[in-house]
A and B are shown apart, each in its own frame.
Chain A
Amino acid sequence: MIEIDGLTKRYGDKTAVDGLSFVVEPGVVTGFLGPNGAGKSTTMRVIAGLDRPTSGTVRVNGKHYPGAAAPMSELGILLDARSVHPGLSARNNLLALARTAGIGRRRVDEVIELAGLGEVAGTRAGGFSLGMGQRLGVAAALLGQPQTVVLDEPVNGLDPDGVRWIRLLLKSLAAEGRTVFVSSHLMSEMAQTATRLVVLGRGRLISETSVEDFTGHATAGGILVRTPETARLGQLLAAPGVTVINDGTDLMRVSGTTAEQIGTAAWRAHLPVYELTPTHASLEEAFMQVTKDSIEYHAGATR
């Protein structure tokens, strides 16, 4: 479990994270979303004890992480920036980390196989592609079988096979009862993997919810209605809070009401309806809607 309470982190006079509070529960995959510069990586660095909070507290599995007796059993972390030594082989990179917790070579070889790095384990990490470096970073995060796993952009640079591997991995870690907290820019990936969401914008918490609620509450969806009587049905549905958009074809988009109400109204007025489809906003649309005020640098904006 990760509990963040009133976390503020300033670098000089720039506030990266501002009064952030949320809880990441074990047993499910929690996605961490936010535009660039929202403070996701900063939050993750503070969780790992690499940066100290300006104010507020962060607890990992109920404890102050830098004081943990067996850190590798508490937290495994993949940071967005590279954190491997290019002069060391993949195996020695992992072995050096494993030694600090008395983890043996067998477990090191196990995570090497798990990450699909078996063939390159002995070669220096400096020659690794982005994807291979990413696999090595994930292997390092899993090394100690930690209770809490934090991954910053794990699918970054991975091929489709790697993306699928990460997706299954995250779900199985959560099913084992571990806390899984993962950031990503790929909204579609989050929609498939995460159950809970923490959404950040400009260092502040925008939303802490489930993926379903997050997309459900977004208003971009509405209901698609196909009928030859668009004008008459539109008049019937007119009410405060209901919007009907019709572009002159037999298709219209209605929001602010339910499919049941539209269907019943059409049936009462003997209007034929060929299609009645509730559409959910995609996670991406919901995300854009929720964070549109908090994107730090709008493209083309002048300062």
Chain B
Amino acid sequence: MSAVMQAGPGLRKGAPAPPTVAGPVTQLRVVRSEWTKLRALRSTWWCALIAVVLIVGLGAAVAGSGTPYRVSAANSAAGGITLSLIGVLFAQLVLGMLGVLAFSGEYATGMIRATLAVVPSRLPVLWAKLIAVVGLLLPLSLLATVAEFFTATALESSRRGSAISLTDPGVLREIVGASLYLTVIAVIGLALGALLRRTAAGLSVFAAVFLVVPLVAAYLPHAIKGFVPYLPSNAGGTIWGAGKLFGGQQLGPWTGFAVLCGYAIVLIGLAAWRLRRRDA
């Protein structure tokens, strides 16, 4: 026994550590790691493709139908843009799902154990996923809303209608705002995925908050409707004028968007707390 034990060079105190190729964990490295995962997953690109098709396709359909995309006394440029961005209402569900999956997928497959074992300080993983998701979806959604704008405008011009211009009041804010809105929605999805850890739970809560609750709330008696403008979808939707679609009282565009960001920050904070405190 002792002969074998002494054969191990590592047993001598002060023996040189065996060679290693691994460097320190840095936030940038963890971002590259998370980007590697997000980029290589098919679900990412399916969600992205469906979101772009919904936004551009429905926008083209609205413009193609005539009146809504024409500026008139009854129809402001910003109002026309909002209607043509109707695809955002559906794209938000797909991109929210992408956000949820980005975290819950790791718990569902067990990869979270490998991930957290190599980044045992844990929080860099959450920040890295945030950066990767925002880094993908902000440009992508902006591309989609801008492409939607030019497609709709081109369709309208081809019929010699009074095309909406980027410089018309509120137009640029709604186009950029829609992409900001979608990005924050995906961040909220990510936080729900991290917080609830289960894909089904994350998707259910997400769908409830962004689909079911706003619909039900719209039919509540007037007296208890005070909270409705503060619902995440209603508050955040103001930045691309979504409130006009449903009517009712609403917040200002940037106030509303700030409220949406507030929800996202609170949820990310809770996710960080849970990730740090709970066993993986």
A108 to B156, CA, bound (A): 53
Complex-state Cα separation, A101 to B24, whole angstroms:
6
Residue of B nearest to A140 (CB): B114
Q: Which residues of chain A in 109-133 are interfacial with respect to chain B, using CB atoms and an 8 Å cutoff?
A: none
B residues in contact with A88, CB < 8 Å = 37, 40-41
Chain A positions within 8 Å of B26 at CB level? 102
**In the complex with contacts A71-B120, A77-B117, A82-B110 CB distance below 8 A:** yes
User: Is B207 at the interface (CB under 8 A from chain A)?
Assistant: no
Q: Which residue of B18, B36, B119 is within 8 Å of A71 (Cβ)?
A: B119
What residues on A are CB-neighbors of B110 within 8 Å? Answer: 81-84
> B21-33 toward A: CB 8 Å interface, digit per residue (1/0)?
1111110011011
From DSSP, what is the main secondary structure of chain A's interface residues? loop
Give B187 Cβ to nearest chain A Cβ, in Å. 21
Please measure, in the bound complex, the distance between the C-alpha atom of A77 and the C-alpha atom of B115, giving whole angstroms: 11
Contacts of A84 in B (CB 8 A): 109-111, 114
User: Which residues from A are CB-within-8-Å of B216?
Assistant: none
Is the Cβ of A27 less than 8 Å from the Cβ of B119? no
B15 located at the interface, meaning its Cβ lies under 8 Å from any Cβ of chain A in the complex = yes
When the two chains form the complex, which single residue of B8, B22, B119 contacts A177, counting CB atoms closer than 8 Å? B8
Q: How many residues of B contact A (CB 8 A)?
A: 49
Q: A49-B116, A95-B36, A97-B33 are in contact. Are A179 and B25 (CB under 8 A)?
A: no
Q: B24 contacts which chain A residues (CB < 8 A)?
A: 69-70, 101-102
Find the residue from B5, B8, B30, B109 having the highest chain A CB count within 10 A.
B8
When distances are taken between beta carbons in the complex, the residues of chain B under 8 Å from A87 are 41-43, 105, 109
Asked whether A147 lies within 8 Å of B121 as measured between CB atoms, the reply is no
- Given known pairs A28-B5, A79-B113, the reply for A69 and B25 (CB within 8 Å) is yes
Cross-chain contact B1 with A107 (CB below 8 angstroms):
no
In the assembled complex, which residues on chain B have CB atoms less than 8 Å from the CB atom of A98?
Answer: 33
Q: Are B120 and A82 in contact (CB under 8 A)?
A: no
Indicate if the CB atoms of A100 and B116 lie closer than 8 Å.
Answer: no
Cβ-closest chain A residue relative to B35: A99
Is B1 within 8 A of A195, CB to CB?
Answer: yes
A184 CA to B98 CA, complexed, in Å: 39
The CA of A45 and the CA of B116, in the complex, are separated in Å by 11
Do the beta carbons of B8 and A26 come within 8 Å of each other?
yes
- State in angstroms the CA–CA spacing of A44 and B64 once bound together: 62
Assess whether B21 is in contact with A107, with CB atoms less than 8 Å apart: yes
B17 proximity list for chain A (CB < 8 A): 147, 177
B279 contacts chain A at the CB level, 8 A cutoff: yes
A103 sits at the interface (CB 8 A): yes
Q: Does A174 contact B (CB under 8 A)?
A: yes
B118 at the interface (CB under 8 A from A): yes
Which residue of B is nearest A210, CB measured? B1
Interface string of A190-233 (1 = CB under 8 A from B): 00000110000000000000111100000000000000000000
A86 to B4, alpha carbons, bound, how many Å?
41
The yes or no answer to A250 lying at the interface (CB within 8 A) is: no
Proximity string of chain A (31-74) to chain B, C-beta cutoff 8 Å, 1 when within and 0 when not:
00000000000000100111110000000000001111111110
27 contacting pairs across A/B (C-beta < 8 A): A25-B5, A26-B11, A27-B9, A28-B4, A28-B8, A50-B279, A50-B280, A72-B25, A72-B118, A73-B20, A84-B114, A85-B106, A93-B114, A97-B114, A97-B115, A97-B118, A100-B30, A101-B24, A102-B24, A144-B22, A145-B18, A176-B9, A176-B18, A177-B8, A177-B10, A177-B18, A195-B5
